[in-house]
Structure 1
Amino acid sequence: MSKIRIALIEDHDLTRVSIRTALLQKNDIEVVGEAANAVDGLKMLKVLQPDIAIVDIGLPDKDGIELTREVKSTNTEELSTKVLILTLRDNKEAVLAAFAAGADSYCMKDIKFDNLLEAVRVTYNGNAWIDPAIARIVLQQAQQNPQKSKSAFVETKTIAPNPDFAENLEEIEPYTLTERELEVLQLIVEGCSNAVIAERLYITVGTVKTHVRNILNKLCADDRTQAAVRALRSGLVG
């Protein structure tokens, strides 16, 4: 079984060592390189071409978001490094800017180890993993300013096309969500539970579950958060 090759770009030594130690507990993960700043990090990524770069935003010489943009601009169809942002910044501006720069996933540094592993594996498989707290921020921003948020996600696809994600978007197009499914999807984006959706739409929880299952299938999404993000990126909801 091939290992997931990871490079760490983090300026705090203790944090970097902790992340490396945690990741190396798993046999399917290999930490192939480390850097404490953006300049060294970019050089390292060009040489090593890891599967995933775990990047901190607050680097000493250059913003991690700008580094993400540079990484994505140097990716090729044959060699493509995915970027997983791991940071303390949870403000809307940082989150949206990271995705606009081409970040594949976004995690907070207080993430549990099991969730970090999940984020790494989901990202490796070509899907976006977004910290639940961050997902709420993104979706709330989209509700407050849908055009701005939509353009940010569209920019992500333009600057750094993710072949797997682009393929998923193409798979969405032939399907048309029903009016009821769009209503359910809108409430998912707003963070409503199945029970709340059922109450709002005057249907049973079982019916909601059926709609959610159909939505996940049509959007090629693994869970509700991923469905919400893909809906925003593809413009299905505003």
Structure 2
Amino acid sequence: MNYVPSEFESGRIALNRLRPVPTLSKASTEFEDIEREQGDDQCLLIIDARTLERECLATTLKANGLSMGAIAVGSIEEWQRKKDTHRPVGAVLLNIAGRRAEDASLSEEIATITAELAPAPVVILGDGDDLNQTLKMLQCGARGFIPTSVGIEVCVEALALAVAGGTFILAGNSFSPSAAETASIDMSQNQQRPKELTRIFTLRQAEVVQALRKGKANKIIAYELNLRESTVKVHIRNIMKKLKATNRTEVAYKLNDMFQSDAR
């Protein structure tokens, strides 16, 4: 309800001289529409049979820094019916909740989604962090597994890693993989740590170095190594001092050069 000043009440200014003025709420809405039109040309496709969960997840991810729009559907079939009216898919987040990899229908669903939406990476969100389950999902074509126990910011970073070409697997203390299983996740972990690392860095710094070489963000490094993010930043600063680097890009360049020279 708009307030009418006393001049109008007294009749000193005719009401028919008033002109409509756009309200702030309308202007804000128009700005948001323009912003959406000029936004990213790809979207994150969230697949979850539960309506409330998928809609809440889409809203929360976007509110916490997701770099693309989010579209939530109940199944790949629903997406196939709607895909012509939405942006191309840049990544897929399949929420399996408590379903297990032994479920043949789940393995088939992951393989179908991977084939249908390639080259967009498919990342699994599910309960638990059993490594054997994760490996089976990767074998079906998934590009990462995010446990529901992680924070939303880690989830956003994990999706960004998958979009950049990486694979997110939580390296938590609850994992107890065999040597063969570890090798199947990441071949680089099956190689001996370059001699230069153990000569220059502490054991913890060497672990951070390995993560930096894979392009992992501080939040993910902190979660995987069971550290505070502030502690990770301290390790990175010390690594930069030892390498005489001024930024992370220079750190990555010098580390890659170190690894190559060590392999000769």
Relative contact order higher in (CA < 8 Å, ≥ 6 apart): 1
Larger radius of gyration: 2
Task: Give the C-alpha shift of residue 151 in structure 1.
Answer: 4.4
Any conservation in 1 of the 2:120–2:163 contact (CA below 8 Å)?
no
What residue in structure 1 maps to residue 61 of structure 2?
Answer: 23
Any conservation in 2 of the 1:3–1:28 contact (CA below 8 Å)?
no
Any conservation in 1 of the 2:89–2:117 contact (CA below 8 Å)?
no
The counterpart of 1:70, out of the listed 112, 129, 139, is 112
What residue in structure 2 maps to residue 14 of structure 1?
Answer: 52
What residue in structure 2 maps to residue 36 of structure 1?
Answer: 74
- Aligned amino acid, residue 147 of structure 1: A
> Aligned in 2, Cα 1:207/1:104: closer, same or farther, shift over 3 Å?
same
What residue in structure 2 maps to residue 104 of structure 1?
Answer: 143
What residue in structure 2 maps to residue 147 of structure 1?
Answer: 180
Percent pairwise identity: 12
Using structure 1 for the length normalisation, give the TM-score.
0.55
SS at match of 2:165: coil
> Aligned in 2, Cα 1:207/1:151: closer, same or farther, shift over 3 Å?
closer
* Rounded Cα–Cα distance in structure 1 between residues aligned with 2:81 and 2:107: 16
The counterpart of 2:153, out of the listed 114, 119, 124, is 114
SS at match of 1:28: coil
- Aligned amino acid, residue 178 of structure 1: P
What residue in structure 2 maps to residue 2 of structure 1?
Answer: 40
Task: Give the C-alpha shift of residue 53 in structure 1.
Answer: 0.8
SS at match of 1:24: helix
* Rounded Cα–Cα distance in structure 1 between residues aligned with 2:208 and 2:148: 31
Any conservation in 2 of the 1:90–1:108 contact (CA below 8 Å)?
yes
Pairwise CA RMSD: 4.1
- Aligned amino acid, residue 59 of structure 2: T
* Rounded Cα–Cα distance in structure 1 between residues aligned with 2:192 and 2:185: 24
The counterpart of 2:133, out of the listed 77, 94, 103, is 94
> Aligned in 2, Cα 1:52/1:44: closer, same or farther, shift over 3 Å?
farther
> Aligned in 2, Cα 1:131/1:220: closer, same or farther, shift over 3 Å?
closer
- Aligned amino acid, residue 121 of structure 1: A
Listed as ranges, the gaps of 5+ residues in structure 1 are: 155-168, 185-202, 227-238
> Aligned in 2, Cα 1:84/1:45: closer, same or farther, shift over 3 Å?
farther
Task: Give the C-alpha shift of residue 82 in structure 1.
Answer: 0.9
The counterpart of 2:203, out of the listed 204, 208, 226, is 208
* Rounded Cα–Cα distance in structure 2 between residues aligned with 1:41 and 1:137: 35
What residue in structure 1 maps to residue 6 of structure 2?
Answer: none
Number of positions where the alignment pairs a residue of Structure 1 with one of Structure 2: 175
Task: Give the C-alpha shift of residue 73 in structure 1.
Answer: 3.2
Listed one character per residue, the Cα deviations across residues 63-98 of structure 1 (whole Å, up to 9, x for unaligned) are 44432222333455xxx1111211114333321111
What residue in structure 2 maps to residue 54 of structure 1?
Answer: 93
Listed one character per residue, the Cα deviations across residues 129-178 of structure 1 (whole Å, up to 9, x for unaligned) are 3345xx4455x12xxx3235534768xxxxxxxxxxxxxx7xx9xx9853
Any conservation in 2 of the 1:54–1:86 contact (CA below 8 Å)?
yes
* Rounded Cα–Cα distance in structure 1 between residues aligned with 2:149 and 2:193: 37
- Aligned amino acid, residue 113 of structure 1: I
> Aligned in 2, Cα 1:98/1:136: closer, same or farther, shift over 3 Å?
farther
> Aligned in 2, Cα 1:149/1:67: closer, same or farther, shift over 3 Å?
farther
Any conservation in 2 of the 1:55–1:64 contact (CA below 8 Å)?
no
